[in-house]
A and B are shown apart, each in its own frame.
Chain A
Amino acid sequence: MRDRVAKGPLIPYLLWIVFFVIAPIALIIYYSMLDLQGNFTLENYKRFFSPVYLKMAFTSFFYAILITFFTLLISYPTAYFLTKTKHKHLWLMFIIIPSWINLLLKTYAFIGIFGLYGPINAFISVFGIEPKQILFTDFSFLFVSVYIFIPFMIMPIFNSIDKLNPSLVDAARDLGASPFTTFRRVIWPLTIEGVKSGIQVTFIPALSLFMITRLIAGNQVITLGTAIEQQFLVAQNWGMGSTIAVFLVLIMFASMIFTAKRTKGGRV
């Protein structure tokens, strides 16, 4: 059946891929093999495997997994409950609207909210608790990162749950399945596509977060993205920056293969 659809529409899209995906990647791979004088070298790759960079890559990975996990943990039930509300599409819009307010501004608001003299500390001091250091901690970093990614995770999950045929759920119930079994055997497998796109738009961007690593984490968390930014804009070592970027692209391919394999069974 698929061959009956015209292939013409693909042309602008393919042009886009050539100019804005393949060309930039080629440029980055090319730059990653240049040293500061512009000579060909593999030195950058060797340096990436030095303890400093490996440690950074590892911690960045660790935080990205945490962020993705918590984002999913919060987003899935939210998306699920949203599909059960009366004006579900309106409510979904209200999930998205906050992401239209400039991120930098929201970050500044968080700096104020989490501050030593901010509302949270003012609130807990009512109960006689000493002001706590919230800003520049792992907690604040995770909180704000999850905050950023929630709408991007909810969107695809909402769409897949929304498509779910409610009679399937009813049928499972009628057949005596417990709510948990229904979820595990019916709802989850049928919505895994949405979860997958949600993870895709969260995990790798979480690896490459920057800006809030400085503003919210005070540079106590350094992601691959921050390191790339520093190499490009501060050290002006485009070769090293490109090398780190090449690894990000590789990690991305790996994660895509990983998510693709897992679902094969469910979709045949």
Chain B
Amino acid sequence: MKKLSMPAKIYLIIVFVILYAPIFYLIYYSFNSGGSMHDFESFTLEHYRAVFEDSRLLVILINTVIIALLSGLISTIIGTLGAIGIFSIKRRNIRNILLSLNNILIVSPDVVIGASFLILFTMIGVKLGFASVLISHIAFSIPIVVLMVLPKLLEMNPNLIDAAQDLGATRRDVLYRVIIPYIKPGIFAGFFMALTYSLDDFAVTFFVTGNGFSTLSVEIYSIARVGISLTINALSGIIFVVTVLIVIGYYFVTRRTKFANGGIGRL
């Protein structure tokens, strides 16, 4: 592997600085005793204490994480199976139609998704709350999983499957022993994208939630009406640090295992 040249390093550093600038800005002010996101007065930890005293906020945070993990998991399973299914269809036309349908939700504006799901839930009679939010998140995460997994399938060498079959593997074996291990990086990428979509979503959730169930982005939106309270800054600071630690920790733990190299799949 070649080493990065100096300009390349500088370029990457600039990209990272910009990506993290707003986050560090938020965290910086979470230590502000002044109570607002301008005019730093003096250092304080009171906003962090406030986070842990606000049980409602903690419950909302937990709801958000549960929704993200569950919807990520379920949409990854359905999406991966779907991608394999699309891949196994021979007729190009049908494949293209399925793919176009797949992409519709990715490109539809959140408001339209939210509104149409709301009509749908009304017709089916789903009560608004945890279930409606979870179903919606699964629904809009599936297509991104397919988009992440499908390229891996397409680039797979067809001889791999043929070889496996020649060696007497059943369809099941081919699926579990050949295809899935090969597309694992795509599956993980899909899962992480699904998590990202779920954590990021505001508009759809806003439409389909109700009866006291709330996720962080909806809650932040309603708090933001009167200017963000720094408790939210402190909370994002905590989330940020915890996420970074988990990611680094997991990365180095799994690196030592036998699956050491290759694929985001090992993350």
Q: Which residues on A are within 8 Å of B, measured CB to CB?
A: 1-7, 9-10, 12-14, 16-17, 19-25, 27-28, 74, 77-78, 81-82, 84-87, 89-106, 108-110, 112-113, 115, 117-119, 147, 150-152, 155-156, 159-160, 163, 193-194, 197, 200-201, 203-205, 208, 210-211, 224-225, 228-229, 232-233, 238, 241-242, 245, 248-249, 252-253, 256, 260
Tell me the count of chain B residues lying within 8 A, CB to CB, of chain A: 105
| A50 CB to nearest chain B CB (Å) | 21
How far apart are A89's CB and chain B's nearest CB, in angstroms?
A: 5
With both chains docked as a complex, state the minimum distance between the C-beta of B244 and any C-beta of chain A, in angstroms.
7
B105:A21 contact, CB within 8 angstroms: yes
25 contacts across the A-B interface (CB closer than 8 A): A1-B161, A2-B87, A4-B171, A5-B87, A6-B171, A9-B81, A13-B78, A19-B139, A20-B142, A21-B105, A77-B8, A78-B12, A81-B11, A81-B12, A94-B16, A97-B243, A99-B199, A101-B26, A102-B199, A103-B217, A105-B236, A156-B151, A241-B112, A256-B99, A260-B96
The answer for the CA separation of A160 and B162 in the assembled complex, in Å, is: 24
B132 located at the interface, meaning its Cβ lies under 8 Å from any Cβ of chain A in the complex: no
Inter-chain CA distance A117–B199, complex, in Å, is: 31
**CB closest chain-B residue, reference A111:** B37
Task: Known pairs A9-B84, A152-B193, A232-B115; list 19 more (Cβ under 8 Å).
Answer: A1-B158, A5-B171, A9-B85, A10-B81, A13-B81, A28-B112, A89-B251, A89-B264, A91-B12, A97-B240, A102-B199, A104-B220, A105-B236, A152-B196, A159-B148, A193-B154, A194-B151, A197-B151, A225-B109
Determine the distance from Cα of A104 to Cα of B235 in the docked complex, in whole angstroms.
14
A228 and B148 in contact (CB under 8 A), knowing A6-B175, A77-B11?
no
Given A13-B79, A159-B151, A210-B203 in contact, is the A113-B22 Cβ separation under 8 Å? yes
Kindly state whether residue B266 has any CB partner on chain A within 8 Å: yes
* Residues on B facing A (Cβ under 8 Å): 1-4, 8-9, 11-12, 15-16, 18-23, 25-26, 29, 37-38, 78-79, 81-82, 84-90, 96, 98-113, 115-117, 119-120, 139-140, 142, 144, 146-148, 151-152, 154-155, 158, 161-162, 165, 171-172, 174-175, 179, 185-186, 189, 192-193, 195-196, 199-200, 202-203, 216-217, 220-221, 224, 228, 232-233, 236, 239-240, 243-244, 247-248, 251, 263-264, 266-267
Q: What chain A residues lie within 8 Å of B193 (beta carbons)?
A: 152, 155
Q: Could you tell me the distance between the alpha carbons of A105 and B9 in the complex, rounded to whole angstroms? A: 29
* A113 to B23 Cα, complex, angstroms: 11
Partner among A17, A155, A242 whose Cβ is within 8 Å of the Cβ of B101: A17
Residues from chain B with Cβ under 8 Å of A85 in the complex? 4, 12
What residue in chain B is nearest A233 (Cβ atoms)?
B111
> Which of A7, A102, A151, A200: most chain B CB closer than 10 A?
A102
B178 CB to nearest chain A CB (Å)? 10
**Chain B interface secondary structure, helix, strand, loop or mixed?**
helix
In the bound complex, what is the Cα–Cα distance between A75 and B161 (angstroms)? 34
User: Which residue from chain B places its CB closest to the CB of A154 in the assembled complex?
Assistant: B15
Do the beta carbons of A5 and B179 come within 8 Å of each other?
A: yes
Which of B101, B107, B202, B248 has most chain A Cβ within 10 Å? B107
Find the B residue at minimum CB distance from A255. B107
In whole Å, how far is A92's beta carbon from the nearest beta carbon of chain B?
Answer: 6
Q: Please indicate the chain B residues that have their CB under 8 angstroms from the CB of A20 in the complex.
A: 105, 117, 120, 139-140, 142
Task: Give chain A nearest CB distance to B48 CB in angstroms.
Answer: 16
User: Which residue of B1, B115, B158, B199 has the most chain A CB atoms within 10 A of its CB atom?
Assistant: B115
List of A residues within 8 angstroms of B203 by Cβ: 210-211, 229
CB neighbours of B185 from chain A (8 A): 159
Contacts of A194 in B (CB 8 A): 151
Find out whether the CB atom of A105 lies under 8 angstroms from the CB atom of B26.
Answer: yes
Are B155 and A163 neighbours in the complex by a CB distance under 8 Å?
yes
